[in-house]
Every structure is written in structure tokens, then in C-alpha cells.
Amino acid sequence: MGITNLNNTHLDNAKLASILDAITVLETALGDFNYNLSPQDRKRYGSINEQNKLLVNKVYDYNKNQPNLSAPDMDWQEFENDYNSRKNLEGMISRLNSLITKMVDAKTLHDYDNYQAALEDYGFTSYKAGGSAAGFQTKHADLKQFFGRSGTAKKSDTETPEL
């Protein structure tokens, strides 16, 4: 028998409501940043790779430390606002991605537990169906569809193997 119950931490109704409320608050707070770029727009505007971020950081540093070397007709306040917003959003995205990874991992363990329990129940159902216990033949036939045949039928000499 495999290892089961890898995650025994469950969301009760109060905790679930609290989390859903927090997500709603977050969605509301981020409402002003709710842009939905098309794939073309994402490609067009998303061209700031790591090298370009280093350029932006260097220009920001020069503007802060030696403003006399900065282009005089640029809106440096807007540049700084964009810079700070990008920096803050990047930090929030990192934190949210960390939370998402943890939730996906927890869900994976629950999925595994459910699947192992379902296999155990299928084994029990197969056993009971073999003994002609009432109702188990129908359940067994219904569940059997999820299991492929594992027979090792020999291929004929004329068949060519798939590559």
C-alpha cells in the first residue's frame, strides 16, 4: 500500500472565507492595475529583458546621483513613478508567485491523497465484485473505464513499430 494522507491540513469554512475575502480585497486594491494586454501588446511592450532593466537602473542611478547629466526635457518625476511602481509590483508578484507555488504544492498533495484513496476503494470494489456482493459489479464496471488494459499482446511480424 502506498503512502497516503501526505497533507492533513484542510481549509475549514472560516479559513476559506477569510482567504477568499483577502483575495477580494487584493483584487479591489489592484483594480487600477487591471490591464489585459493582447499577446501582440505583451510582445510589443514586454521587450524590457534583464539587460534592459540594468540600463533602466543605471539611468535611474545617474539621475539620482548626478542629475546634471540627465536629459533636461524628460519628465523625471514620471520616470521615477514608473520605476517605483515597477519595483513595487515586481516585489508583490514575487510574493504572490511564492504563495501560488505553496498552494499548488498543497493541492498536489491533496490530489495524490485522493487518487490513492480512489485506488484503494477500486481495489475493495474489485474484491467485493468478485464475490458477487450486491451493487459492486455495477460500481466495478463503472470504475473500470478509468483503467486501461495492461495486457502484453504480442505484435505480429507484419506490424511495424511506431517511432
Residue predicted with more confidence, 8 or 58: 58
Residue linked to cell 463503472: 142
1 pLDDT above the threshold of 50? no
Mean pLDDT of 152-159: 54
The residues near 117 (Cβ < 8 Å, ≥ 6 apart) are: 4
Average pLDDT along the chain: 89
pLDDT of residue 99: 96
What's the pTM? 0.72
Helices 50-65 and 76-130, packing angle to 10 deg: 150
